[in-house]
Structure 1
């Protein structure tokens, strides 16, 4: 699964002022990633605001990204939820021809036990031959996937090939790296700890800041993978403040503000999310201009 080693980005869904999808902005966004060294694209992850998109809009977003990408980078599709039967049905009824893997979040709100999480992903894995990246993000789901559960899934399900680990816990990440099967990938889902995770044996990142700073962030990750610690940390500390900024008032409001500064798309989001405050917008703009 070398195609998922390096830097992936969780694509936003650009909106026009009337909140309709901005397909021209989406085209500019995809090309910006490809032109600046990103290794793969994640479609309709949390950053893409899929909870506020209709089924028809999701299909239109997928179609546009597939068309613009034109086979240049691997594509990962977000399909997850807290109703196992519904997730299985969506996987089985979705045309996955143009996608290399599925990113599936651990069930949220229900707060299942570790056995419940295991059985959920076992059912998801059995629903498809596609590679699956499980996504652990306790800050959004209210439950943590224990290292033992992740390693158990990695050993028991051949097509569960990676975890996007976003617990923000380096000790947990290192436990997974220590115990995982040889070819299983531990991918950072937390931009701030991406470099330490890579240097500890991680495979890279599925990033948000990488969408705004693709050249810098993908270079940092590549240097980390090559063991060039000093050069990699130099870039890390150059971009670190911007990571705090883009998450200060929620995702994707912050990264959309950065992308507006870069003239790729507007900073429009859909309720219940709101735009970044004027103060934060200025801070982000100043950072981009100074970088």
Structure 2
């Protein structure tokens, strides 16, 4: 899966003032990412506020994104949930044209056992016509996809080709790297630790800050892949404060505010239960952007 190496971005879903999807801004965002060197795009990951979109809206976004990309870069679709049967049903109905893989978040809220998580991904692997990327983000899901379960899935299902790891645990990353099949990919799911994760053996990042700074994120990943860590550290340090501010309040509220300020999207609207960033955070972001 060379398509998943380097820098990918979890695209935001821009909204109009009335709360509808702003496809004009989405189109500009897609072109901006490709023009700035992003290696691949992820449509409707958690950063895309997927949980607040209707089934019809998700279908529209996936199809619009595939048409706009038009084969210029690889494309990944985020399809996941905490209802295994519903997730399998959505995968079965998905139009795979233009997509190279699925990204599927570990089941949230239910707090399943490791066996439950294994069975969930087993059902997804057996239902999908495309390769599957696991997504472990315990801070959002309430449960951890353990290294042992990750490696078990990687060994038993050829369809499962990678994991996006956002656990923040380097002990966990190291265990995965030690025990995984040779061709199974570890991908950073957390912008601030992409550099050390790639030093450990991760092949790249699925980024949030890359929505606003695709050129810098793609260069950071390229430098790390080539072992140019001094150059990578310079970019890492440049982005660090802006990235930190993105996550002071819930993602994607911070990155959307930055993107609006930079003129990438028209509004920083999000859908309830999320709300735009507070005045205090706006001020902090403005100060950082002014630098």
Q: Deviations over 1:221-251 (max 9, x none)?
A: 1101111111111110111011110010110
- Shift in Å, 1:50: 1.2
Conserved 8 A contact 2:162-2:187: yes
Are 2:240 and 1:276 equivalent residues in the alignment? no
Matched with 2:194 is 194
Structure 2: which 5+ runs fail to align?
Answer: none
Q: Give the stretch that moved more between structures: 273-282 or 97-106.
A: 273-282
Matched with 2:207 is 207
Matched with 2:87 is 87
Matched with 1:151 is 151
- Shift in Å, 1:252: 0.5
Q: Give the stretch that moved more between structures: 62-71 or 144-153.
A: 62-71
SS at match of 1:152: helix
How many residues of Structure 1 are paired with residues of Structure 2 in the alignment? 290
Cα separation, 1, equivalents of 2:117 and 2:86: 15
Q: Normalising by structure 1, what TM-score?
A: 0.97
Cα separation, 1, equivalents of 2:13 and 2:160: 27
Q: Deviations over 1:76-125 (max 9, x none)?
A: 11111111111111111111122110000111111111111111111110
SS at match of 2:102: strand
Cα separation, 2, equivalents of 1:117 and 1:85: 13
Conserved 8 A contact 2:70-2:98: no
Give the root-mean-square deviation of aligned CA atoms.
Answer: 1.0
- Shift in Å, 1:289: 3.8
- Shift in Å, 1:129: 2.6
Aligned structure 1 segments of 4 or more residues deviating by more than 6 angstroms? none
Q: Give the stretch that moved more between structures: 159-168 or 77-86.
A: 77-86
| 1:36-115 alignment runs, 5 A limit | 36-115=36-115
Matched with 2:254 is 254
- Shift in Å, 1:288: 3.0
